[in-house]
Amino acid sequence: METSTARERDAFNVTMIMERACRLASHSWEYGTAAEALIELHNPELSVFSQHPFPGGKLPLVDVEKTPGLKYAKALIRTGQQTLIDGDGSAGDPASLGVVCLLIGQTHKEYAIAAESQARFILEKTPRFKNGAISHRENVAELWADFTYMVPPFLSYLAIATNNESLMRQSQLQCHLYEEILRARAPSKEPSHLWRHIVGPEAQDLGLWSTGNGWAVAGICRTLATMKKCEEGKYLHSEKERLQHSIMDILDGAMLAPRAGYPALLCNYLDDDTWFGEIAGTALLGAVAYRMVVLAPLKFGERYAIFAESCWEAIKPCINPTSGAVVPTSNELDWKSREPSLNGSSEGQSFTVMLFAARRDYMARHAGK
């Protein structure tokens, strides 16, 4: 008998959406995000959101050629160099491939070595902001919300692989240091819930970009999941509590944000309803809400599930049943453009797959109660 999840998957065209994400990818962060989406879709048992991602406190041994996300990434990652892939000036973006590289490295040693080289480049050779936050850019100290998705989840995963508690603490610390700078201030000078996109001398964008907030909260969520799933009690309770609080702040801010059009998508800039609604931020913020309802149900209750479901319902009509394109989305290379992209973006496609996978896992856990 066909399950409801299988019927929903077919109706959602998730395979077609994922294929389009891979086809559109042409930048380092897009490759890493697509690889993560492939893992969450096809091999959820390998994701840090699974119940037991670290058997015996170690990374799992996986057949790379039979694991779509790893097979996809293996063809893209370079070994024997400082970074896993050319970041085109970004210090953080190549690390988006770090988690899958470490999984590949369990059976292909040169990839484990490459992952450690990538970490050294980030920790030792990348500029630092005045508060100690590692720059997202190679040649100037500049903080992008995107970094939080690329680097802390990788460092926390590497901490498990190498049994390095200080590295685990560093992954949490970087989330906090980024929040310290990027968290916006309300007119009353009190902190708001949401993050600015970029603070720095070259590409500064003080707006509350929807996708940027999605990047930030999803990266913190993956870092938290890694910390919670390692050996019980090994890492400080207060550090996990702080990450949960950061996630809650961003999700609460997104819940209060205006929506645009029908379906009611979150606006490209969350505090400005003159912007078009777009799918990338909507999908990723919704995916994180589903994940947190499972990961920390006592703190993330019904209203987070309702928000996640509203994102799901808003995304479904945006899927082209013929091409699998999910639109409209912001221009990922020109986020201030007032013209939405109607061709779709690789990251928007991947985020939609993550939304599907997060909802699937949420529904499965809910049904098992």
Give me the pLDDT at residue 11, please: 57
Per this entry, what is the length of the chain?
369
Enter the tokens of residue 321.
């049943």
The pTM assigned to this predicted structure is 0.96
CB 110 within 8 A of CB 117: no
Q: What pLDDT is attached to residue 2? A: 45
- pLDDT for 366: 83
**Is residue 164 within 8 Å of residue 158, measured between CB atoms?**
yes
pLDDT tens series, the chain, 369 aa: 445 555 555 557 999 999 999 999 999 999 999 999 999 999 999 999 999 999 999 999 999 999 999 999 999 999 999 999 999 999 999 999 999 999 999 999 999 999 999 999 999 999 999 999 999 999 999 999 999 999 999 999 999 999 999 999 999 999 999 999 999 976 654 557 899 999 999 999 999 999 999 999 999 999 999 999 987 555 568 899 999 999 999 999 999 999 998 889 999 999 999 999 999 999 999 999 999 999 999 999 999 999 999 999 999 999 999 999 999 999 888 999 999 999 999 999 999 999 999 999 999 988 875
